[in-house]
Structure 1
Amino acid sequence: MHQLVDDIDGTLLEAGEGETIRFSLNGAAYEIDLTNSHAEELRESLAPYIRAGRRASAGNVRAAAPRRRAARNSEVSEIREWAKSQGLNVSERGRISAEVMDAYRAAH
C-alpha cells in the first residue's frame, strides 16, 4: 500500500485527499505531495508568475536523468571476472562499457 504524507507539515493524506504536484525551475524537475489546502496555496503563490510567464515547449524541458552509482574499485575486478565468465568482451584496464555494467547489475 502506498500512502502519501504532506511534505510541508507531515499530514497523512487519506485516499482522495491531497495530491502530488510536479513542477520545474531552472531546469530541475520537482514533485511534492500536498494536502488540498497546501496545493491551493502553492497555486495561488505561483499564479502571478504563471500569468506573466510563457509556456515552454516539451522540447525545452529536460528531465533529470537518473544518476548511476559508480562502481567501486573492488567491484570493478568482480565485474570484469563475471563478464569474462559470461563470454562478454571486457578490457583488462580502463572503462567498463555501460552494456557490460547493465548486464552485471541485471544478473545480481
Structure 2
Amino acid sequence: MAQRVITQLVSDLSGDEIADGKGESIEFSYRGASYSIDLTDKEAAGFDKAIALYLEHATKTGGRRRSTSAGSKSDYSAKDVRVWAKAQGIDVPERGRIPGEILEQYKSSK
C-alpha cells in the first residue's frame, strides 16, 4: 500500500493556507528569546513594515558578517604575527586564532 503525505503551510497569524511560494517563515529575536512565524506574503510585508522603524535605529549584533569599512584586508597577516611572536619569545599557537593580547602587542610594536 502506498502513502502520500502532504504538508500544508498555514499562517500562524490568520490561519490561512499558504500556497507554494506565497508565504515565508520569519525568524527573529526579542528580549533574548528566538521566534519563528509562518506568514503569507501580505502578512510578511506588514511585519517588515511594522519593524522597519525599529531596525532603522537599532544596532545589528549578529547575522551575516559585514566587510571592513574600506573593504580591505587587515594590516597584518597571521603568519607575520606568529613569526614576530616567536622572535619575541611569546608562545603562540601554530594554527587557529591568535589570542587578542598577542595581536595587540604585535600592533603596538609597529
Q: Given the two structures, how large is their TM-score scaled by the length of structure 2?
A: 0.50
Say which structure, 1 or 2, has more relative contact order (CA 8 Å, 6+ apart): 1
Aligned partner of 1:42 in structure 2 is 47
Aligned partner of 1:2 in structure 2 is 7
The 3 A distance-change label for structure 1 pair 57 and 9 is closer
DSSP-derived class of the 1:34 partner: strand
| Aligned length in residues | 58
RMSD value over aligned CA atoms?
1.1
Larger radius of gyration: 2
Q: Measure the CA separation in 1 of the matches of 2:31 and 2:15.
A: 27
Q: Measure the CA separation in 2 of the matches of 1:35 and 1:12.
A: 8
Instruction: Please state which structure has a larger fraction of its residues in helix.
Output: 1
After TM superposition, the structure 1 = structure 2 runs for residues 69-108 of structure 1, keeping only pairs within 5 Å, are none
Gaps of 5+ in 2: 1-5, 64-110
Q: Measure the CA separation in 2 of the matches of 1:3 and 1:27.
A: 30
Q: Taking every aligned residue pair, what percent have the same amino acid on both sides?
A: 36
Q: Given the two structures, how large is their TM-score scaled by the length of structure 1?
A: 0.51
Q: Where in structure 1 do 4 or more consecutive aligned residues deviate above 4 Å?
A: none
Gaps of 5+ in 1: 59-108
Q: Measure the CA separation in 1 of the matches of 2:62 and 2:42.
A: 29
- The Cα of 1:3 is off from its aligned counterpart by 1.6
- The Cα of 1:20 is off from its aligned counterpart by 0.4
Q: Measure the CA separation in 2 of the matches of 1:52 and 1:19.
A: 25
